[in-house]
Amino acid sequence: MTGKWPTSRKILLLAPLLLFLGLAYVVPFLGVVRWSFTLPEPGLGQYHALFTDPLVQSVFFRTLRICLIVTAASLTMAYAIAYVWVRGSSVQRMLAEFCILVPFWISVLTRAFGWLAMLSNRGLINTWLQSAGIITEPLALARNEFGVIVGMTHFLIPFAVFPIASAMRSIDERVLLAARGMGASRTRIFWTVFVPLTYGGLIGAALIVFVFALGFFVTPAILGGGRSVMVAELVYLRIFQSPDWGLGAAISVVLVVFIGILLALMRRFIKPAHLVG
């Protein structure tokens, strides 16, 4: 006999997961919230400093700027890779899948140091350009925002590929054939039919990349060289080196709230694909 499970049984099945999430995330976060209001003394002083301190504000604006650039760059390259993966020949699909999956086997730390070896003043790129006579002085490719953007984009491209590829695979080929039958060129079909049908995947990929980028720590710390500090690194510096636990906790709370608002807005204003029509 089949039928819907009662709500109480569903809650009972979810109870262990909810308990784990509460102990692993909610309780520690509440402790961080308490620090933001009580350290070094009770009050809203840390939040006032957060919104008035020029250093903290510059780090927030730099983080948003880098995250937006990384999101745009990741989506652009991920779209091209996903297109080849979904609609290319068998050899092209195999190569695209290889490029997508191999980065997951390499740790973020290894990748960051790999890019540092490539982009530093004595790295492979500058050495090759100087030996070829193209440049006389090494280019500033690392320990700045450019190096941070390159490293973060390389890490996040695979995460953007999957939702975009999923949206591409869900496109009905008959729609493309109908546009072709109406005399539309391949370019026009791509920009006016194919791309709009993948907006859901693009938005999902943008959300994933942007949220991941907000919390990046290792890559900016290594490739930025302390000159392009982002929010996660600032929290680390305030808690472990200053130490200023109250301000570090306040920054963490604001970051979590911002991400929560972003997720809520995306869920509120973006309809699922099966409801659009």
Q: Give pLDDT, residue 102.
A: 86
Q: Give pLDDT, residue 276.
A: 40
Is residue 31 located within the same domain as residue 133? no
Note whether residue 151 is domain-resident. yes
Q: Would you give the DSSP letter of residue 24? A: I
- Residue appearing with tokens 């745009």: 72
Q: Give pLDDT, residue 277.
A: 39
Task: Give the CA dihedral 113, 118, 120, 125, nearest 10 degrees.
Answer: 180
Is residue 100 located within the same domain as residue 151? yes
Q: How many other C-beta atoms are found inside a 10 Å radius of the C-beta of residue 253? A: 19
Q: Give pLDDT, residue 5.
A: 64
Q: Give pLDDT, residue 275.
A: 39
Is residue 7 located within the same domain as residue 139? no
Going by C-alpha positions, the residue among 243, 251, 254 that lies closest to residue 56 is: 251
Q: Give pLDDT, residue 136.
A: 87
Is residue 112 located within the same domain as residue 231? yes
Hey, what are 177's tokens? 């054939």
Domain range for residue 228? Answer: 53-275
Is residue 111 located within the same domain as residue 185? yes
Is residue 59 located within the same domain as residue 31? no
Q: Is 156:74 a contact under the CB 8 Å cutoff?
A: yes
Is residue 59 located within the same domain as residue 4? no
How far is 275 from 277, CA to CA, in rounded Å?
6
Give phi and psi for 171, each to the nearest 5: -70, 135
Is residue 120 located within the same domain as residue 224? yes
CA 251 to chain centre: 19
- Which residues of the chain carry a pLDDT beneath 50? 1, 273-277
Is residue 82 located within the same domain as residue 31? no
SS3 state of residue 237? helix
H or E stretch covering 176? helix 173-181
Q: What is the pLDDT of residues 111-124, one digit of tens each?
A: 999 999 999 988 89
Note whether residue 220 is domain-resident. yes
Is residue 64 located within the same domain as residue 201? yes
Q: Give pLDDT, residue 152.
A: 95
Q: How many other C-beta atoms are found inside a 10 Å radius of the C-beta of residue 30? A: 11
Q: Is 199:56 a contact under the CB 8 Å cutoff?
A: no
Q: How many other C-beta atoms are found inside a 10 Å radius of the C-beta of residue 82? A: 28
pTM: 0.87
Domains identified in the chain, total number: 2
What CATH number does residue 106 fall under?
A: 1.10.3720.10
Q: Is 78:86 a contact under the CB 8 Å cutoff?
A: no
Is residue 103 located within the same domain as residue 181? yes
